[in-house]
Amino acid sequence: MTFLDVRDLHVHFPTDDGVVKAVDGLSFTVHRGRTLGIVGESGSGKSVTSLSVMGLHRRSAVRLSGEVLLDGTELLHADPEEVRRLRGRTMAMIFQDPLSAMHPLYTVGRQIVEAYRVHNPVSRKAARAHAIDLLARVGIPHPAKRVDDYPHQFSGGMRQRAMIAMALANDPQLLIADEPTTALDVTVQAQILDLIRDLQEEFHTAVVLITHDLGVVAEIADDILVMYAGRAVEYGAAETVFRKPEHPYTWGLLGSMPRLDRAVRDRLQPIKGTPPSLIRVPPGCAFHPRCPYNGRGGIPCATEVPSGTIACHLPHPERVRLAPTL
């Protein structure tokens, strides 16, 4: 069943230099027990999308349109009080940098206790027992002792686990993880991804995993949404998107994955140039200034915005023919 349903989301920020179109007509769904990976370079609109779902934009600074339905409840235009109640209880978020989410002067245990007690009228003692249980669940050794440590006394990987414990304090049904492993070394990265996957199986959580690294989502996503300049360029089952991608931008992303086989990587062209300014998004296909197939066979790349789950004007048979197989 669809748990999160985002429809035609637009997130625009008016500035002195013009309107920043951070997200421009984005739609996707996430089911309970499933993981959607949202992938793209920085500035593609991934984080802005998650902040919109969580209701974390200052409303006076942003123009929002579209719909964000959480289990059928529309959040984008809902009473901020209601969204605040859902945040931390029904939906929770983990970030790249646990220190930004944790208070340096409070023990890890106290922060989990407070996250829990905001939504549950239980005694401190019961909440503390819950915190210790959560720390154990996310794989922190000696949780009954570590619960009284401060964030700086934890290693990077352990802090990430503690933040996940905090996010899980109220058994959220939607977990948004924004670059949760980017700052970690490869071994710890794999452990954290395993942890997210295990917890998801246990709690049947809907997970949105945001990353610039296609390799990370290939490991645990059921579906993949590739974003470019605030729009979806490719959206489909992870198996298909990863093994047989059809959008030239996705090919480029694969080409920049370090852990790919040399043989495959050599056939892919890494993306040249940089992402566009979101104030002056190129007309037509926003990717056209960087795309090696721009205008091929007279297709209207520079003038018409392509639509569909694979937003590209190349005819389907040609995309299939050109696609690298992994």
Contacts of ligand SF4 in 230-259 (CB under 6 A): 248
Which lies closer to Mg ion via its Cβ, residue 147 or residue 208?
208
Q: How far is the C-alpha of 262 from the C-alpha of 166, rounded, in Å?
A: 40
Closer residue to Mg ion in complex, CB, 35/47: 47
**Interatomic CA distance for residues 46 and 30, integer angstroms:** 15
| CB-nearer residue toward ligand SF4: 43 or 284 | 284
Question: Residue 62 Cβ, how far from Mg ion at the closest point, in Å?
Answer: 16
Applying CB under 6 A, the span of 26-34, 164-172, 212-220, 280-288 interacting with ligand SF4 comes to 280-288
Span of 40-48, 215-223, 273-281, 282-290 interacting with ligand SF4 by CB under 6 A: 282-290
Q: Are 93 and 180 in contact (CB under 8 A)?
A: no
* 47 scored as a contact of Mg ion (CB under 5 A): yes
Taking CB under 5 A as the binding criterion, the range among 42-50, 127-135, 238-246, 304-312 that sits at the site for Mg ion is 42-50
One DSSP character per residue, 131-153 reads HHHHHHHTT-SSHHHHTTS-GGG
Closest to 311 (Cα-Cα) out of 239, 217, 245: 245
Interaction of residue 276 with ligand SF4, rule CB under 6 A: no
Which C-beta is closer to ligand SF4: that of 2 or that of 307? 307
Provide the edge-to-edge strand list for the sheet that holds 18-31: 18-31, 2-15, 63-70, 73-74
E strand or H helix at 15, and its extent?
strand 2-15
Answer whether 209's CB lies under 8 Å from 177's CB.
yes
What, of Mg ion, ligand SF4, none, does residue 47 touch, CB below 5 to 8 Å by kind? Mg ion
* CA-to-CA dists, residue 55 to 48, 174, 175, angstroms: 10, 14, 14
Looking at beta carbons only, is 191 or 294 nearer to ligand SF4?
A: 294
Q: Nearer Cβ to ligand SF4, position 65 or 307? A: 307
For residue 264, the minimal CB distance to ligand SF4 (Å) is 20
Q: How many CB atoms lie within 10 A of CB 106?
A: 14
8 contacts 74 by C-beta, under 8 angstroms? no
Q: Which residue lies nearer to ligand SF4 by CB, 140 or 299?
A: 299
Q: How far apart are CA 22 and CA 286, in angstroms?
A: 13
Gap between the Cα atoms of 147 and 152, Å rounded: 13
Count of residues touching Mg ion (by CB under 5 A): 1
**Residue nearest Mg ion (C-beta atom):** 47
Q: Which residues, 291 to 310, sit near ligand SF4 by CB under 6 A?
A: 291, 293-294, 299, 301, 306
Binding residues (CB under 6 A) for ligand SF4: these are: 248, 285, 287-288, 291, 293-294, 299, 301, 306, 312-314
Binding residues (CB under 5 A) for Mg ion: these are: 47
